[in-house]
A and B are shown apart, each in its own frame.
Chain A
Amino acid sequence: MVLTLLKSLMLVGVLLGCVAYAVLVERRVVARIQTRMGPNRVGFGILSTLPIIGRLFGFLRYWKFSGLGQPIADGIKLFLKEDIEPANAYRWPYRLAPIISILPVVMGFAVIPFGPDIELLGRNVKLHVASLRLDILYLLALGSLGTYGVILAGWSSNSKYSLLGSLRATAQLISYELPLGLALLSAVIYTKTISLGEAVEFQLANGWLIFSQPLAFLIVAVAALAEANRSPFDLPEAESELVAGYFTEYSGMRMALFFLGEYMHLFLAGSLITALFLGGWSVPFFGAAPWWLGVISFCVKVGAFLFICMWTRSTLPRLRYDHLMHFSWKGLIPLAAINLVATAVWAALL
């Protein structure tokens, strides 16, 4: 009980830190792709303004740490911003929507296995918060819940851009849950387990799933991008069409919650893909790796996925609404279905 509490606290803390710095990394990476510098000015000089102990940090004023203080500065800025509620908004749904949209994503991390079981003080500690053994089902269920935050935000803001954005988002999230579910199902049939930890164990024995289920991997990767509203599927918040989509009317920390939720969604998608297709904590060419190397390997794989997302974002134009739907219903879903049937037949024959 205490251990679970400790683990969840650690998870949320590390996750928030990771997201804050992922934003910085994204800004720097995209800037580099676009021949700009990106944020590289903010260090930790603000510590020197603290009373009394500030003198100890005086030297920090002159070091810029290539913008490493930027997430902290942004966070402080967002907390101090005025929280604006439109006069015509439906108050309680409007206030609840950001929380509803971030909650399922954070809950999803409970079942992600970050590493193998370890021995700590004579106890067997698992590197995931909840031993549910229904991990994939749980993640799919939470993914559907995420839609509610978006719908509520768009409807309760009582603004047309928000409404259009949330309609788009709803249609998109529902359409892309199907190929995601179908592709995950073929992976489940292949590994004969619905638990992520066991899927990793399976891959440790039989090689990564990306090689044996490449089509499922591609479909999951694309659908995950769409589920997380990432470019080129960022129609719900297409800033050149809908200003900011469903969170047009939000400001300050509430807007930041949407951003955090979206980023964590991407992290979650990366973690799921890593655990299910990229061998989780297994280290290539390194049979029995120590547990800490496994955790690092997991993080590196998630990082690689995030980097590819950033790369895509800075390269591709945005899809149009109807093309997006066609792509899912006429492209991904039949492909995923064929893949599922083929996997099922293969499993039955064996």
Chain B
Amino acid sequence: MTRFAEGARIAQSSYHIESIDSDSTKMILQMGPQHPSTHGVLRIEVELDGEIVKGLRPHVGYLHRCAEKLGERGRYTHAIPHTDRLDYLAAMTQNLAVCEAIESLLKLEIPLRVKILRVLLCELQRIASHQVWLGTHMLDLGAITPFWYCFEDRDMIQDLFEEASGARLTYSYIRVGGFCNPPPPRFYDWVRELLERMPKRIDMYEALLTKNPILIERLRGVGKISGKDAIAYGLSGPVLRASGVEWDLRVTEPYAAYDLIVPRIMTREEGDCYARYLVRFDEMRESLRLCGIALDMLREADGSWTAENDLVVPPPKEDIYNDMAAMIRHWIIGIRGFKVPPGEVYRAVETPRGELGVFLVSDGSENPYRIHYRSPCFVSLGALEKMAYGGFFSDLVAIIGSLDVVLGEIDR
């Protein structure tokens, strides 16, 4: 046998049956990175005894794109587009997280109108993200149809965001001190239309799925984690709330206008996949309510669409084209950036998946000294073994789906 062929054989050995240890009944199965239900490029080394999971090791890093380092290399504003690509299903909340961090280092005063619109956008984003979760989760469980209906709804929200920002996936709409441009007047009517349509759609999903006996059998009692364990593992978001812990950063540490628009914390006691499923449905309904409130407040609010700081916030587009001083300001902010006072800050927002934290260190220059993102999915992947141990292999797929992992955010 040539050396090459031997190498190929060794490389294959972990995949083929011959590698089963003859003394043990365990089989090591490489699930991923190109497995249909690992939500991207997650690789899990599963130890199987028949169909029972006897241990697993998640391997991450297949989607590592140096988002943190790239953010440190550019100016402060250049970090924003990279955050779009972390959790590509909830880009708006990622934008908000990094902007909140920069703004708090700058001690920037944000107008109320901006804050309210940010809440509206983030809640819409939460609905859109949960729709993708629902579709893919059901796809993992073998129900193929909800996927298309969910994406239809998500498309409506994407239409909205496209109307505002021009992009359908990577918005970069929220900027330091405001937005890249104020939303067009049509935007509000579209939101109103969406808010009328969406509750019916959510009822439809519930009618089809929530009481389905097969679905309940697949989810109830699967992937259990107690509230205490969930806290110990550092879980956050719907996964933590499904274990009965009342923790929602929008309420416990309000940011943007969440001190005015207060959400109810949706919790369940069971801590299993079905509880997570129900919590996410409750959250969608709650988000719709918040969107309604935010829309009403936005109608009444007026004032500036940007923070009052000429060194940080670029002037409006008309001024850039018509006023030389404004154009120079635009150039300077775009190319040279702005200096941020030295210091460090940790700002966390409640993304659809949990606590996304941004740790930012400034040395007083135009470039961030260090950016670190605390990813909720990365942490919840750590608790995967705890949840899946002793269960069936098909449960593992259900649990991954119920954690709603997005690999872009895990690998960063």
Q: Is the CB of A35 within 8 A of B149?
A: yes
From B36, B152, B212, B393, give the contact of A317 (CB < 8 A): B212
By beta carbon, the residue of chain A nearest B397 is A241
Which B residues are in CB contact (< 8 Å) with A330?
A: none
By beta carbon, the residue of chain A nearest B28 is A160
Q: Is the CB of B51 within 8 A of A315?
A: no
Q: Is the CB of B36 within 8 A of A88?
A: no
Known: A238-B394, A320-B218. A315 touches B143 (CB 8 A): yes
- Flag the segment in B94-102, B134-142, B262-270, B370-378 that touches A: B134-142
Q: Is the CB of B15 within 8 A of A318?
A: no
Which B residues are in CB contact (< 8 Å) with A235?
A: 394
A5-49 vs B, CB cutoff 8 Å, 1 = contact: the mask equals 000000000000000000000000010011110000000000000
By beta carbon, the residue of chain B nearest A160 is B29
Q: Is the CB of B145 within 8 A of A314?
A: yes
Q: Is the CB of A241 within 8 A of B18?
A: no
B1-37 vs A, CB cutoff 8 Å, 1 = contact: the mask equals 0000000100010011110000000010100000111
Q: Is the CB of A240 within 8 A of B139?
A: yes
Is A163 on the interface with B (CB-CB < 8 A)?
Answer: yes
By beta carbon, the residue of chain B nearest A33 is B145
In the assembled complex, how far is the CB of residue A161 from the closest CB belonging to chain B, in whole angstroms?
A: 8
Q: Is the CB of A88 within 8 A of B12?
A: yes
Q: Is the CB of B16 within 8 A of A160?
A: yes
- Tell me the complex Cα distance, A88–B200, Å: 53
Known: A234-B142, A239-B36, A315-B143. A320 touches B394 (CB 8 A): yes
Q: Is the CB of A243 within 8 A of B36?
A: yes
Is B395 on the interface with A (CB-CB < 8 A)?
Answer: yes
User: Which chain A residues numbered 221 to 239 have a C-beta less than 8 Å away from chain B?
Assistant: 231-232, 234-235, 238-239
Which A residues are in CB contact (< 8 Å) with B138?
A: 317
Which A residues are in CB contact (< 8 Å) with B141?
A: 240, 317-318
Q: Is the CB of A159 within 8 A of B143?
A: no
Q: Is the CB of A232 within 8 A of B17?
A: no
Is A293 on the interface with B (CB-CB < 8 A)?
Answer: no
User: Which chain B residues numbered 373 to 404 have a C-beta less than 8 Å away from chain A?
Assistant: 392-395, 397
Q: Is the CB of B152 within 8 A of A35?
A: yes
In the assembled complex, how far is the CB of residue B288 from the closest CB belonging to chain A, in whole angstroms?
A: 22
- Among the interface residues A34, A231, A315, A317, which one has the most CB atoms of the partner chain B within 10 A? A317
By beta carbon, the residue of chain A nearest B138 is A317
Q: Is the CB of B36 within 8 A of A240?
A: yes
User: Which chain B residues numbered 124 to 159 have a C-beta less than 8 Å away from chain A?
Assistant: 138-145, 147-149, 152
Which B residues are in CB contact (< 8 Å) with A251?
A: none
Q: Is the CB of B51 within 8 A of A317?
A: no
Q: Is the CB of A88 within 8 A of B16?
A: yes
Q: Is the CB of B17 within 8 A of A321?
A: no
Which A residues are in CB contact (< 8 Å) with B395?
A: 320
**Interface size on B (CB < 8 Å)?**
36
Q: Is the CB of B142 within 8 A of A34?
A: no
By beta carbon, the residue of chain A nearest B214 is A317
Is A145 on the interface with B (CB-CB < 8 A)?
Answer: no
Is A319 on the interface with B (CB-CB < 8 A)?
Answer: yes
- Tell me the complex Cα distance, A160–B51, Å: 12
Q: Is the CB of B142 within 8 A of A321?
A: no
Q: Is the CB of A241 within 8 A of B218?
A: no
Is B300 on the interface with A (CB-CB < 8 A)?
Answer: no
Is B217 on the interface with A (CB-CB < 8 A)?
Answer: yes
Known: A88-B18, A317-B138. A35 touches B148 (CB 8 A): yes
By beta carbon, the residue of chain A nearest B35 is A243
Q: Is the CB of B214 within 8 A of A240?
A: no
Q: What is the interface residue range for chain A against chain B?
A: 20 to 34
Is A308 on the interface with B (CB-CB < 8 A)?
Answer: no
By beta carbon, the residue of chain B nearest A171 is B51
- Among the interface residues A240, A243, A319, A323, which one has the most CB atoms of the partner chain B within 10 A? A240
Known: A158-B17, A160-B27, A240-B397. A317 touches B392 (CB 8 A): no
- Tell me the complex Cα distance, A110–B140, Å: 39
In the assembled complex, how far is the CB of residue A218 from the closest CB belonging to chain B, in whole angstroms?
A: 16
Is B215 on the interface with A (CB-CB < 8 A)?
Answer: yes
Q: Is the CB of A159 within 8 A of B17?
A: yes
Which B residues are in CB contact (< 8 Å) with A36?
A: 148
Q: Is the CB of B392 within 8 A of A164?
A: no
Known: A35-B152, A317-B214, A317-B215. A163 touches B392 (CB 8 A): no
- Tell me the complex Cα distance, A315–B37, Å: 19
From A159, A319, A322, give the contact of B214 (CB < 8 A): A319
- Tell me the complex Cα distance, A30–B141, Å: 17
Is A316 on the interface with B (CB-CB < 8 A)?
Answer: yes
A230-260 vs B, CB cutoff 8 Å, 1 = contact: the mask equals 0110110011110100000000000000000
- Tell me the complex Cα distance, A323–B143, Å: 16
In the assembled complex, how far is the CB of residue B10 from the closest CB belonging to chain A, in whole angstroms?
A: 12
From A35, A87, A161, A240, give the contact of B142 (CB < 8 A): A240
Interface residues of B (CB under 8 A from A): 8, 12, 15-18, 27, 29, 35-37, 48, 51, 138-145, 147-149, 152, 208, 212, 214-215, 217-218, 392-395, 397
Additional 14 contacts, C-beta under 8 A, given A35-B149, A164-B29, A239-B36:
A30-B145, A33-B145, A34-B147, A34-B148, A35-B152, A160-B27, A164-B48, A164-B51, A238-B142, A240-B139, A241-B37, A243-B36, A315-B145, A316-B212
Q: What are 12 A-to-B residue pairs whose CB atoms are below 8 Å?
A: A35-B149, A158-B16, A160-B29, A161-B29, A168-B51, A234-B142, A240-B140, A240-B142, A316-B214, A318-B218, A322-B392, A323-B214
